[in-house]
Structure 1
Amino acid sequence: MNLDTRIKFRHLLCFLEIARQGSFAKAADAMAISQPAISKTLKELEELLQTRLFERSKQGVELTPAGVRFMRYAGPSVQALREGVSTLRGEEHAPPQVRIGVLSTVESLLMPEVLCRLHQRHEALVVSVATGPSAHLLAQLHVGELDLVIGRMTESPQIQGLLFEHLYSESMSLVVRPGHPLLARQPIERSQLGRYPLVLPLAGTTIRKHADSLFVQCAIEQPLQRLETLSPALSRRYVQSSDAVWVAPRDAVRIDLGRGELCELDLGVQEPGGSVGICSNAALPMSLPARWLCEVLREVAGQYRDGSYP
């Protein structure tokens, strides 16, 4: 079937922005147009394709199976056009660049070492790092705005249609400041956890599901006083200056535990762990800088698995 010439660039931009934002209102704000205008543009595209691309839900809007298939081609097409325009503007002489999404699970330990080694080996290289929830980063990967996403994300619905390469498994730990009252008795009395503030990943994230599962497994009711964040820096400072308990990815606190700046609570059971890895978009050819990054990621992850790093 020949390409319908009635499909315009604005149709693709509208579709991609709605998919990225998961909301008509947020997509309209991002594109600086009215919500009725963005709804009309999407309706035109769906009529031209003769299929529904989105379904409304309580959380906003979600791609239909047809929308997921169309995303695999719409995102790379728009990104290829942007890159073509860049070359005509003389940007082809800029240093090579790789754009990555980094989840909090790898932000503190894996990625700093990877980036150090990467820059030691490549004199001219720009690494652009985006952080945030997996749903947001995977949406950017779908539309070609990121080359890779690294972290723990296999349970995220947005991973559908993407490729995932396992690097290593990582469990969750409960950590507190040195001298915390709960350290007086190990394993701890689980009923005592409810007396202290709890630091958790944001609700709805992949890593939060693992944290919630750990509490269910141990029959522990979460306290009403909680801090929910994906920031390791904020979590670390808050826990070190209070009696809060942090449910943290092991990687985020491994160095702190080794230095004695944080202490691990023994629950008498260990969370089974989740898969940390590299997510890529099969519809996009992987750039050379992205391949460089993957090589170093595999190298550091291998040393992590065999205990030679850190």
Structure 2
Amino acid sequence: MNIDTRIKFRHLLCFLEIARQRSFAKAADALAVSQPAISKTLKELEEILAASLFERGKQGVTLTAAGVAFMRYAGPCVQALRDGVSSLREGEHEAGQVRVGVLSTVESLLIPEVVRRLHQRHSALVVSVATGPGAYLLGQLRVGELDLVVGRMTDSPDIQGLTFEHLYSESMSLVVRPGHPLLAAGAAALGQLGDYPLVLPTAGTTIRKHADSLFVQCGVTPSRQRLETLSPALSRRYVLSGDALWVAPQDAVCLDVQRGELVELQLGVQEPGGSVGICRNSALALPLAAEQFCAVLREVAEAYREGLFS
């Protein structure tokens, strides 16, 4: 069957922006048009497709089953056109580019090494890295704004319909600054954990569940003084400036511990954490630069698993 020529680029942009923002008002702002214009454009698309693409609710709009099915093709279609236009701009076709969403679990150690090795091997390569909560990054991947997302995300409901490749499993660590009072407390340290401020991943994230599990295993009620953030830089600076405890993924603090800048508390319990890996949208063909990124990422992850890289 031929493509219905009534479907225009603006219809696809409108659909994708509503799906991304989960709000007609926010989609209108993002596209710099009025909300009635957004509603009219979507209505035109739904009439052409003879299907309802969104359900309205108190929490915003969500994709219907038909909307999810259409998303699988609309996102890659728009991104392919964008890539085609970009490839013809002067000079841009000579350099590859990969757009990667990076969760905090791999931001500090794994990704810098991957980028370093890539730039050693390729004279013209742009690695564009986006950070943020897993739900946001997976949403960007779903609509074709990112080529890959790397990190710990298998427990997220937003991964449904995407493809995940396991790289390694990683545990959580509880770290403090050198000279922290708990380091001299010995066996009593476990009972004193609730007396100090905490640095935790943002509530509602996959990694937060593993952080909370560590305290459950210890049988300790966590402190109500908390800094909740996904930023390793902010977490590190706050912990070094006082007596806070940081529940962190192992590779976020590995180098700090090796250099003696942070110290891991040995509690006799371990939270195994989750699976770190690569997530991609299988409906969208990976550009060559993204394939190269994946190859080096697998190489670095293998060295990490075997203890050869740190």
5 Å-filtered alignment, 1:275-294, equals: 275-294=275-294
1:266 maps to 266
Is the Cα contact below 8 Å between 2:53 and 2:64 reproduced in 1?
Answer: yes
User: Does residue 1:101 correspond to 2:105, yes or no?
Assistant: no
1:113 maps to 113
Shift of 1:252: 0.3
- Aligned AA (1:213): S
Rate the CA distance shift 1:68–1:301 in 2: closer, same or farther, 3 A.
Answer: same
Rate the CA distance shift 1:193–1:203 in 2: closer, same or farther, 3 A.
Answer: same
- Number of residue equivalences: 310
2:127 maps to 127
Is the Cα contact below 8 Å between 1:98 and 1:126 reproduced in 2?
Answer: yes
TM-score, normalization by structure 1? 0.92
2:295 maps to 295
Aligned partners of 1:58, 1:216: CA distance in 2, in Å? 34
- Aligned AA (2:233): A
Rate the CA distance shift 1:108–1:46 in 2: closer, same or farther, 3 A.
Answer: same
Shift of 1:26: 2.4
Is the Cα contact below 8 Å between 1:147 and 1:280 reproduced in 2?
Answer: yes
For the residue of structure 1 that corresponds to 2:173, the secondary structure is strand
Percent of aligned pairs with the same amino acid: 76
2:51 maps to 51
Rate the CA distance shift 1:187–1:73 in 2: closer, same or farther, 3 A.
Answer: farther
Shift of 1:89: 4.0
For the residue of structure 1 that corresponds to 2:128, the secondary structure is strand
2:138 maps to 138
Shift of 1:172: 1.1
Aligned partners of 1:221, 1:59: CA distance in 2, in Å? 32
5 Å-filtered alignment, 1:219-258, equals: 219-258=219-258
Unmatched 5+ stretches in structure 1: none
Rate the CA distance shift 1:52–1:304 in 2: closer, same or farther, 3 A.
Answer: same
Aligned partners of 1:123, 1:294: CA distance in 2, in Å? 18
Shift of 1:183: 1.7
Shift of 1:9: 1.6
Is the Cα contact below 8 Å between 1:52 and 1:64 reproduced in 2?
Answer: yes
Rate the CA distance shift 1:217–1:56 in 2: closer, same or farther, 3 A.
Answer: farther
1:198 maps to 198
- Cα deviation per residue 1:201-232 (whole Å; 9 max; x = unaligned)? 11222211222233334343332211111110
Aligned partners of 1:22, 1:247: CA distance in 2, in Å? 32
- Aligned AA (1:239): V
Is the Cα contact below 8 Å between 1:169 and 1:274 reproduced in 2?
Answer: yes
Query: Which stretch of the first structure deviates more once superposed, 148-157 or 50-59?
Result: 50-59
5 Å-filtered alignment, 1:65-214, equals: 65-90=65-90, 92-187=92-187, 189-214=189-214
For the residue of structure 2 that corresponds to 1:130, the secondary structure is strand
Shift of 1:189: 4.4
Shift of 1:56: 4.5
- Aligned AA (1:262): L
Query: Which stretch of the first structure deviates more once superposed, 100-109 or 200-209?
Result: 200-209
Aligned partners of 1:281, 1:212: CA distance in 2, in Å? 30
Rate the CA distance shift 1:58–1:116 in 2: closer, same or farther, 3 A.
Answer: farther
- Aligned AA (2:63): L
Query: Which stretch of the first structure deviates more once superposed, 86-95 or 252-261?
Result: 86-95
Rate the CA distance shift 1:87–1:53 in 2: closer, same or farther, 3 A.
Answer: same
Rate the CA distance shift 1:32–1:67 in 2: closer, same or farther, 3 A.
Answer: same
Rate the CA distance shift 1:299–1:49 in 2: closer, same or farther, 3 A.
Answer: same
For the residue of structure 1 that corresponds to 2:269, the secondary structure is coil
2:20 maps to 20
For the residue of structure 1 that corresponds to 2:124, the secondary structure is coil
User: Does residue 1:307 correspond to 2:310, yes or no?
Assistant: no
Aligned partners of 1:48, 1:139: CA distance in 2, in Å? 25
Is the Cα contact below 8 Å between 2:207 and 2:273 reproduced in 1?
Answer: no
Aligned partners of 2:18, 2:102: CA distance in 1, in Å? 22
- Cα deviation per residue 1:166-216 (whole Å; 9 max; x = unaligned)? 000011111111111222234554442222111111122221122223333
- Aligned AA (1:109): L
